[in-house]
Structure 1
Amino acid sequence: MPPSCGDTSSCGDTSSCADTSSCADTSSLGGTSSSGDALSPDGGTLSPDGGTLSAGEARSPRDARSPRDAFSSGGTADGVPDGVPDGVLPAVVAFRLEFARRQARIARPVPGGLVVLDPRLPDSHEHNQLLWADGEPRPPQGLTAADPTTPAATDPVTSPGPASPVDLAGLAETHLAALSHRHLTVLDDEVGRAGAPALGAAGYEHREELVMVRVLRSAPAPDPSAPGGEQPPAAEQPLAGGRRHLTEEVSAAELRTAVLAWQRHWLPDLPQEVLEQLADRRGVRVRGADQVRYLVSREADGTIAAWCDLYVDAGRHIAQVEEVVTAVGRTRRGHGDAVVGAAVALAARAGVDFVFLLADAGDWPRTWYARRGFTTVGRSHAFTRA
């Protein structure tokens, strides 16, 4: 099943799409790091450096909390399932804003959100879009460029307060005018639902995304220096049906051939130069988080059969699994389970409390993820006009 335009784990029609950054079957797209050390889905081994890539210092939006803070918040918010602290969803929103900002060639704060642009990747929706979070302007701090010799551009916030649904379309026209597409990610469910009719009338396609979380730790890590304070190992993701595949971490270059083959199959009408641009953006994603790792599962002959990305924010103790993909003709062999299980195990070893992912609210992969321990805690909305 092909991916839809945007930056989330979803599947859909791509007839007018130049962005393949998502899908969730175990049929999505993937992405960047380096190592080559073998990882078993039930823990495995890593070399001391583990191929971890540093993306520089992360700065949080002003009121963003670590999900770890939520353990003492006195319960869960309405709509958040039992056992999931109420600080998780705000932490996910902060993570997504920061991940986009850290990659951006140009980052421009707007009322309630952020515009990110990268002229080198004009067909990548995730790198050229408006992200809207809430009514409080959140000027990015510590902006960095993808090229260390060229600082990222930033404009001042000109009008505080929440943006209305009409404002969202207007902001997109103002800040994305030079692009052939318009892409908006609305991280607030209520605003996304309210804005859908107006944006639909303006020609935008709407995709509703589920924010799904798996809790790895149910309490803050104790102080290792205190008596009895050593942290026990976190539980790891079992594989469906008892099948196991050896997984490993690879570089973007090693993954590129498999990604291009998958894109050509699902997007046969796109020019080759656009496909290559979308595959090569993985070199930019490494700036998005403290750790950006690409995991693959191989067939016995060494062919890459599935892959996924893992993005780790050490400061917030949260991680994202993204672009879970199974190669054409390799489905129903346990490879998707292998890469997701390996990603969860790596996140747990990195000290992460929560792993989240995004799934299309109207497509079947959401139930696949639910069977693997992920729980829906909220919704966001993607709007695209080609």
Structure 2
Amino acid sequence: MQPAGPRSDDWWCELTVGHAAGASRARATQARRAPFGWMLLTPEAPLVWAVNRAQVVPNAGGLDAAETVTAVEAAHDAAGLAHRAVDLRGRGDARRLAPVLRAAGYVVQELHVLAAAPAELAERTRPRPGRSYVVAPEGPEAAEPVRQAAEEGQDRTPEERRQVARQWSLAPARDTVHLVARDAAGEAVGSLVVHLASLHLELDDVLTHPARERAGVGTALLAAAAELGRRRDVGRLTLLADPNDYAASWYGRRGFRAVGRTATAHRVPAA
């Protein structure tokens, strides 16, 4: 697995049956080096499952469910990753792969795809009196204090927490805007990653500093995203959310509605 280019945002590597599955998949290897997915690698963060995530292509290379999971595991091993994660794009992938992933020790989580029109989102995110923040695009490093604070309560080693906090700084993608919310003193209190697509905007990593929770920071970030969507004349803004989490209902009150489903799976090995 080699990066597609020298830039950190080009470290999307194609995983092939021939490389990742090895001798156990000689039949597929001899037939063709069939791609079955991608993995995002960053040279400074080899242990972070949040950025090192395999995305599976359904039925690629003739692999059945068990063989696909074996290949994904081999790809993680080849990359030296302790934490593993797999994106299951679509309900068909989830039904086919979830039982085998669970048997391999992965935790499978269903996520809802939520969407909102920019105009409705703007209408529902008007600031309340006394809750004023400046939200503007900044470099990905500007949000690291917010990410580091959000990671303090997570069950990870200090090095893993540092790497997760830096994940967007290590692998900034092209066509991505990093919005940072600052308070009156200029302190970073929230952040949001916006992926720019031609017909919609995808929101990712919506974070509020733990000391400013329920103080309107997230609403200010969404309002800025809605304005960005209006300026780019897109039809909707989308994001992923756990349907059982508080955040899903919070997004719902701001105009987001479920338009589809996807799933993710992750495994953290025993210490």
Q: Name the structure, 1 or 2, with higher relative contact order (CA <8 Å, separation 6+).
A: 1
CA distance, structure 2, for counterparts of residue 189 and residue 367 of structure 1: 22
CA distance, structure 2, for counterparts of residue 258 and residue 242 of structure 1: 21
Match of 2:74 among 164, 174, 177: 174
CA 1:302/1:117 → structure 2, altered by over 3 Å: closer, same or farther?
closer
Tell me if the contact between 1:103 and 1:284 (Cα under 8 Å) persists in the aligned partners. no
> What are structure 2's unaligned runs of at least 5 residues?
1-7, 17-33
CA 1:341/1:329 → structure 2, altered by over 3 Å: closer, same or farther?
same
Q: State the Cα distance separating 1:250 from its structure 2 match.
A: 2.3
Larger proportion of strand: 2
CA distance, structure 2, for counterparts of residue 112 and residue 354 of structure 1: 30
In structure 2, the residue matched to 1:213 is: 115
CA distance, structure 2, for counterparts of residue 278 and residue 376 of structure 1: 28
> What are structure 1's unaligned runs of at least 5 residues?
1-100, 138-158, 217-233
What amino acid maps onto 2:157 in structure 1?
Answer: L
Q: State the Cα distance separating 1:242 from its structure 2 match.
A: 4.8
CA distance, structure 2, for counterparts of residue 214 and residue 277 of structure 1: 31
CA distance, structure 2, for counterparts of residue 268 and residue 379 of structure 1: 27
CA distance, structure 2, for counterparts of residue 208 and residue 104 of structure 1: 27
Tell me if the contact between 1:294 and 1:308 (Cα under 8 Å) persists in the aligned partners. yes
Match of 2:38 among 102, 111, 114: 114
What amino acid maps onto 1:307 in structure 2?
Answer: S
Secondary structure of the residue that 2:100 maps to in structure 1?
A: helix
The share of aligned pairs that are identical, in percent, is 26
CA 1:317/1:293 → structure 2, altered by over 3 Å: closer, same or farther?
same
In structure 1, the residue matched to 2:164 is: 278
Secondary structure of the residue that 2:211 maps to in structure 1?
A: coil
In structure 1, the residue matched to 2:3 is: none
CA distance, structure 2, for counterparts of residue 236 and residue 183 of structure 1: 31
CA distance, structure 1, for counterparts of residue 235 and residue 10 of structure 2: 24
CA distance, structure 2, for counterparts of residue 235 and residue 371 of structure 1: 11
Tell me if the contact between 2:146 and 2:191 (Cα under 8 Å) persists in the aligned partners. no
In structure 1, the residue matched to 2:97 is: 195
Moved over 4 A (4+): 109-112, 239-242
Tell me if the contact between 2:39 and 2:52 (Cα under 8 Å) persists in the aligned partners. yes
Normalising by the residue count of structure 1, what TM-score does the alignment of the two structures yield? 0.56
Q: Deviations over 1:190-222 (max 9, x none)?
A: 220332222212211111111111234xxxxxx
**Structure 2 residue 132 is the aligned partner of structure 1 residue 245:** yes
Tell me if the contact between 1:204 and 1:385 (Cα under 8 Å) persists in the aligned partners. yes
Normalising by the residue count of structure 2, what TM-score does the alignment of the two structures yield? 0.77
CA distance, structure 1, for counterparts of residue 57 and residue 259 of structure 2: 16
CA distance, structure 1, for counterparts of residue 227 and residue 171 of structure 2: 21
Secondary structure of the residue that 1:377 maps to in structure 2?
A: strand
Query: What is the RMSD computed on CA atoms of the aligned residues?
Result: 2.6
In structure 2, the residue matched to 1:351 is: 233
**Structure 2 residue 4 is the aligned partner of structure 1 residue 104:** no
CA 1:299/1:118 → structure 2, altered by over 3 Å: closer, same or farther?
closer
What amino acid maps onto 1:123 in structure 2?
Answer: L
Query: How many corresponding residue pairs?
Result: 239
CA distance, structure 2, for counterparts of residue 199 and residue 269 of structure 1: 22
What amino acid maps onto 2:192 in structure 1?
Answer: C
**Residues 35-54 of structure 1 mapped to structure 2, 5 A cutoff:** none
Q: State the Cα distance separating 1:372 from its structure 2 match.
A: 1.3
